[in-house]
Amino acid sequence: MYVLGIESTCDETAAAVVKDGKEILSNVISSQIDLHRAFGVVVPELACRRHVDIMIPVIEEALSKAGKTLDEIDLIAAAMGPGLIGALLVGVNAAKALAFAKKIPFIGINHIEAHLYATLMTADIAWPAIGLILSGGHTTALLVEDIGHYRLIGQTVDDAIGEAFDKTAKLLGLPYPGGPEIEKLAPHGHPGRFHFKPGRVKENLFAFSFSGLKTAVLYAWQKSDQTEQTKADIALAFQKAAFDDVIAKATFAASHYACESLLFGGGVTQSQTLRHAFQKALPHKKLYFPDLSLTLDNAAMIAGLGYVHYQHKGPDTLSLQPIATLPITHDV
């Protein structure tokens, strides 16, 4: 079964063709980093306009790279949330229009769930697992019993972890996206010069909070000599505080729910520093990270998960609407 996937939740316009849920025939990603870099954050209105401009060329490129025409596509899957509503509308409506015109079944896919599925495209995993989605828009911990069976155990009460990296980078004068910039700078920092405390959420030990950490960085930077060395020292301390927090909560969750596997997804798991820190902290657990080509927002994970859900529940109707705040436990 050939599935065309479409992704437009945030600042990547992406389309992919995937066979039978796992075999990636094409995976085209057009990043808008150039557009948003001057602002240091994603500007929703600009993101939507760019999606409109390039959605069709990106889909055409995905089909052509896969050596397929629309007539050979068996299912069209589009990310229907969570994300920026204007951006989601572009991808979902493109998918529905093509599905209607060509009489191809259509299915809406949860973007967060797809980030976890990205890892399952290249690994067979032993369930149950602690699922961790660490991205620019989400910081979510789940108990995963199988694909489609999730129990939310914790999420961020304010900033997402990637958002905290992006905002911290911005206040240190580093370009967007901030995560890779901070990771590059951190090895030049002196360990121990700055200490930042992770955010605690009283009501839920598995929940995350990053806004206090970001503010602590702001005050430390404002009070400092603001040299390049200080910038690196702060980058190192911030990255350590953010990752130590995630590792501590994930370790606790794995022991609390008796899970041998940890399944990761989302752009922040691009970080080699994070991967190594987890491997060091949990040498006896099975850690499943996404292939680097599937870590950031992409449409292969949407097409792949589209195939899996289509097998279980069939297509969605063309009246399906995107939902900006779609939770992972939402029954679509």
Choice from 21, 128, 131, 137 touching ligand KG4 (CB under 6 A): 137
Closest to ligand KG4 by CB, 73 vs 303, is 303
User: Which DSSP state fits 29?
Assistant: E
Choice from 135, 155, 270, 271 touching Zn ion (CB under 5 A): 135
Per-residue b or e along 162-175, where b marks 16 or more CB atoms closer than 10 Å to that residue's CB: bbbbbbbbbbbebe
Tell me: does residue 166 bind Zn ion (CB under 5 A). Answer: no
Q: Are 249 and 131 spatial neighbours (Cβ–Cβ below 8 Å)?
A: no
Question: Which residue type does 62 have?
Answer: A
Stretch near ligand KG4 under the rule CB under 6 A, chosen from 176-184, 203-211, 217-225, 322-330 = 176-184
Binding-site residue total for Zn ion (CB under 5 A)? Answer: 2
Q: Are 238 and 217 spatial neighbours (Cβ–Cβ below 8 Å)?
A: yes
Tell me the per-residue interface mask from 283 to 302 with Zn ion, x by CB under 5 A, - otherwise.
--------------x-----
Question: Which residue type does 94 have?
Answer: A
Tell me: does residue 245 bind ligand KG4 (CB under 6 A). Answer: no
Closest to ligand KG4 by CB, 128 vs 265, is 265
Cβ within 8 Å of residue 220, ≥6 positions away: 194, 196, 234
Tell me: does residue 185 bind ligand KG4 (CB under 6 A). Answer: no
Closest to ligand KG4 by CB, 128 vs 298, is 298
Choice from 27, 135, 155, 261 touching ligand KG4 (CB under 6 A): 135
Stretch near Zn ion under the rule CB under 5 A, chosen from 56-64, 117-125, 132-140, 145-153 = 132-140
Residue 228 CB burial class (10 angstroms; 0-12, 13-18, ≥19): exposed
Closest to Zn ion by CB, 236 vs 303, is 303
What is the full DSSP assignment across 99-132?
A: HHHHT--EEEEEHHHHHHHHHHTS---PSSEEEE
Measured from the CB of residue 184, what is the shortest distance to ligand KG4 in angstroms? 8
Cα–Cα distance, 25 to 184 (Å, whole number): 32
Backbone angles phi, psi at 313, to 5 degrees: -130, 5
Cα–Cα distance, 79 to 302 (Å, whole number): 6
Q: Are 58 and 8 spatial neighbours (Cβ–Cβ below 8 Å)?
A: no
Measured from the CB of residue 186, what is the shortest distance to Zn ion in angstroms? 23
Tell me: does residue 268 bind ligand KG4 (CB under 6 A). Answer: yes
Binding-site residue total for ligand KG4 (CB under 6 A)? Answer: 19
Tell me: does residue 270 bind Zn ion (CB under 5 A). Answer: no
List residues binding Zn ion (CB under 5 A).
135, 297
Catalog residues that contact ligand KG4 under the rule CB under 6 A: 10, 135-137, 162, 165-166, 177-180, 183, 266-268, 270-271, 296-297
